[in-house]
Amino acid sequence: MSRHSEVAGTERPPGFVFHRQSKGLFRRGADLVLHCEDLPLPTLAERYETPLYVYSATAIRQRLLTFQKAFREVPHTICYSVKANSNISILRLLARERCGFDVVSGGELERVLVADRRAAKKTVFSGVGKSADEMTAALKAGILLFNVESESELWALAECATRLRTTARVALRVNPDVAADTHPHISTGLRKHKFGVPISDARELYAKASGARYLKVAGISVHIGSQITELAPFAEAIARVSGLLRVLRADGHRIEYVDSGGGLGIAYQEPGVDFDAMVARYARAVTNPLRGLNVHLLLEPGRAIIGPAGVLLTSIIYRKENDGKRFLVVDAAMNDLIRPVLYSAYHEIVPVVQPVNSTKKMETVDVVGPVCESGDFFARDRELPRTEENDLLAILDAGAYGMSLASNYNTRPRPAEILVQGKSVKVIRRREKVRDLFSAEL
């Protein structure tokens, strides 16, 4: 097996691939260097410093296209889940590809409107705690659909719509009591969770909603969780929704939309999984229970589109050893990527430069940051090729829930974000300065 084939399992094509690169004055040696599209990551690190979020525009487009192809035989709209990564340049890229959006706050809605105001008509508003101000803003923007999650919210929305004398299209988010094999913090489809209304109560609520002058019953919504890789729970949830749909239509409701939510996971530890085939199987699981029902399907992928399209690039500050325990202390920290401590999440970590036919030994290390918390780690007891201080590491599959969950803990400025297309690069968020963190304080 060649050295290149050994690292291929840690690549994320088409965005992040190792390329052979000659080194030295006389070009006698060669390294495998991780690139984002056509640009080597060491060059980007030198130009923009670390820690640094790097995204591939080609990877984002290709993964969106995979969803569009998989669902091409049914009327559908892909409503990208803004919470996964809400950078306005990324939203603008997706809008240009005819993508809609799923928002869960007034702030996310405002981001969509800044990216492309026309995208409002393909935007759905989810979330259990929409305020009157948020609902009013969404009504004024002319969004496609409100996914309503309680009876109280239903009447609050009716009041906002009446005040504006405009019609709000609504879907009730039903809780199907379907278990999904995922982390407890991102499972949402059981009766013990705060999301949605019990599916057994939905018929009565739809009847009440239909009597409100400025509410238009238009759909049914369901979402059972995030980072789900088994397809059976999706099929089970939609099967229950299809049963409710038939009952509601028999009651005289005109149900046009079924919002199947998002939640399709990515293979953090098995990058060789055929993504196109996985999405095709997901499409069959979601669409089969809806055959013959003549509905427009709304889908809310987020992580599945943006996750593998981004990496967090970081530099090793120090090597450290405590009684045989080895640490790599890097300049990124839990405030930049909190997923490992928050969800016990696994991220592949690779040296950006790997000598061809290297004789370097593997070592077991903890990859940790400089924040004053024991939870400030990216990997524990991880086997990696030996690296030295000032070497670069790439934390892979960091495009989703990386920067969107980032904070300024320890008064640490957040990283810059860049978007690469071929040989072109654009700064889509400048690196914060410490003085930026004081600007809102009195």
Helix (H, G, I), strand (E, B) or coil at 85: coil
Cα end-to-end span (Å), the chain: 61
Q: What is the DSSP string of 158-219?
A: HHHHHHHT-PEEEEEEEE-----SS-GGGB--STTSSSSEEGGGHHHHHHHHHTSTTEEEEE
Q: Are 103 and 126 in contact (CB under 8 A)?
A: yes
Q: Are 271 and 219 in contact (CB under 8 A)?
A: no
Distance, CA of 277 to CA of 351 (rounded, Å)? 29
Q: What is the DSSP letter of 72?
A: T
Give the pair of three-digit tokens for residue 7. Answer: 């690292």
To the query of whether residue 160 is one of the catalytic residues in this protein, the response is no
Helix (H, G, I), strand (E, B) or coil at 324: coil
Give the pair of three-digit tokens for residue 16. Answer: 């992040």
Question: Which residue among 36, 79, 99, 372 is the active-site one?
Answer: 372
Whole-number Cα distances in Å, 344 to 35, 379, 380, 393: 28, 10, 11, 20
Helix (H, G, I), strand (E, B) or coil at 297: strand
Catalytic residues: 372
